[in-house]
């Protein structure tokens, strides 16, 4: 257990302080700004002009390229609805992960994400980019590393890829509650092994596996993050690390984060285009 704990919270990383979670109260203001932007876009019938929008990026956006979005811990696909809508308006073809609540065994959640990746690739006939928030980003990165034949890039949003244990104590309370439920017989939620056992170790190592050269990675982080240590979200192996302002929970609704994600998707497409894509492997539904 000590070995797993040191792996998930290595030396040099610390949990956010007790008061850090208070920064997450700004989520309400972020949600209000996102709602106003959504209303404005619908009223004009056009894509909202985002803070870092550019003609170059607008020309690169969309093209009906597929993108799979993966929600964070305790959340479901609904939490990324703002990103879904914004990317679809910009011309990307978005797919949901099928996760109603990301509270199950991390290995099982990864298998579900991989299955959805296979389905999205089969439907679109193209390799798929993945965008994941928090724990969803770690799942997305692990799946992208395992399936370079289907993944065209990965963007992580506030994902502590270097130290998943570097999270606020409030999150630890939620994890302990799930482990207690699992011990009481609720098998649909993560158990002790998923938190401090072999499952936790294997899931972390999967999320740190090397990505193929034509599967670029952009990590997005915020120094105002009140849930996870922002330092743990900066992957030294990533093609780019982009700082944004705002809360951890607000990354799924922030118009500024949407702009960063659009830029990342466009850059990833350019990188992937330099290497001949692997053939899409059809999903074997008889297995």
Query: For residue 26, what pLDDT is reported?
Result: 62
The mean pLDDT of 268-282, rounded to a whole number, is 64
Residue 45 CA to its chain's centroid (Å): 28
The mean pLDDT of 74-94, rounded to a whole number, is 95
Query: For residue 276, what pLDDT is reported?
Result: 54
Supply 18's token pair: 């007790």
Top-confidence residue, 55 or 172: 172
pLDDT category of residue 88 using cuts at 50, 70 and 90: very high
Supply 122's token pair: 């089969």
pLDDT category of residue 58 using cuts at 50, 70 and 90: very low
Top-confidence residue, 159 or 21: 159
pLDDT category of residue 6 using cuts at 50, 70 and 90: confident
- Interval 92-150: pLDDT, tens: 999 999 999 999 999 999 999 999 999 999 999 999 999 999 999 999 999 999 999 99
Q: Which residues pair with 130 in a beta bridge?
A: 68, 154
Query: For residue 28, what pLDDT is reported?
Result: 62
Q: Which residues pair with 217 in a beta bridge?
A: 154
Mean pLDDT of the chain: 86
Residue pair 140/131 in contact (Cβ under 8 Å)? The answer is: yes
Residue pair 153/130 in contact (Cβ under 8 Å)? The answer is: yes
Query: For residue 287, what pLDDT is reported?
Result: 37
pLDDT category of residue 50 using cuts at 50, 70 and 90: very low
pLDDT category of residue 1 using cuts at 50, 70 and 90: low
- Give the neighbor-by-neighbor strand order of the sheet with 240-243: 93-96, 66-70, 128-133, 151-157, 217-221, 240-243
- The whole-angstrom separation of Cα 83 and Cα 144 is 20
pLDDT category of residue 21 using cuts at 50, 70 and 90: confident
DSSP three-state, residue 211: coil
H/E stretch holding 279 reads none
22-25 own/partner pairs: CB under 8 Å, 24+ apart = 22/226, 23/224, 23/225, 23/226, 23/247, 24/226, 24/227, 24/247, 24/248, 24/249, 24/250
- The whole-angstrom separation of Cα 48 and Cα 99 is 28
Q: Could you tell me which of 170, 113, 163, 121 has the C-alpha nearest to residue 142?
A: 113
Rounded percentage of the chain residues whose pLDDT exceeds 70: 81
For the chain, the first-to-last Cα distance in angstroms comes to 36
Question: Does the pLDDT of residue 53 top 60, yes or no?
Answer: no
How many other CB atoms are there within 10 angstroms of residue 277's CB atom? 14
Query: For residue 190, what pLDDT is reported?
Result: 95
Supply 279's token pair: 């053939």
Query: For residue 62, what pLDDT is reported?
Result: 66
Supply 218's token pair: 């952009």
Top-confidence residue, 216 or 286: 216
Question: Does the pLDDT of residue 183 top 70, yes or no?
Answer: yes
Question: Does the pLDDT of residue 283 top 80, yes or no?
Answer: no
The mean pLDDT of 147-165, rounded to a whole number, is 97
């Amino acid at each position: 257990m000590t070995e797993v704990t040191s792996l998930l919270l290595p030396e040099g990383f610390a949990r956010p302080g007790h008061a850090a979670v208070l920064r997450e109260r700004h989520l309400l203001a972020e949600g209000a700004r996102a709602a106003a932007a959504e209303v404005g876009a619908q009223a004009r019938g056009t894509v909202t002009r985002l803070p870092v929008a550019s003609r170059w990026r607008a020309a690169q956006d969309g093209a009906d390229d597929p993108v799979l979005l993966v929600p964070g811990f305790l959340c479901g696909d609904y939490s990324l609805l703002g990103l879904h809508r914004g990317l679809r308006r910009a011309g990307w073809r978005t797919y949901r992960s099928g996760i109603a609540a990301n509270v199950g065994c991390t290995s099982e959640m990864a298998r579900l994400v991989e299955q959805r990746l296979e389905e999205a690739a089969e439907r679109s006939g193209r390799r798929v980019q993945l965008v994941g928030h928090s724990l969803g980003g770690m799942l997305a990165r692990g799946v992208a590393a395992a399936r370079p034949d289907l993944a065209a890039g990965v963007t992580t949003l506030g994902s502590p890829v270097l130290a998943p244990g570097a999270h606020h104590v409030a999150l630890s309370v939620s994890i302990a509650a799930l482990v207690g439920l699992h011990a009481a017989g609720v098998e649909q939620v993560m158990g002790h092994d998923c938190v401090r056992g072999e499952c936790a170790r294997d899931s972390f190592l999967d999320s740190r596996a090397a990505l193929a050269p034509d599967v670029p990675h952009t990590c997005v982080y915020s120094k105002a993050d009140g849930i996870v240590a922002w330092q743990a979200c900066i992957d030294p192996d990533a093609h780019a690390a982009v700082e944004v302002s705002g809360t951890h929970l607000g990354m799924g609704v922030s118009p500024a984060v949407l702009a960063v994600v659009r830029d990342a998707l466009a850059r990833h497409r350019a990188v992937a285009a330099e290497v001949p894509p692997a053939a899409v492997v059809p999903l074997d539904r008889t297995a």
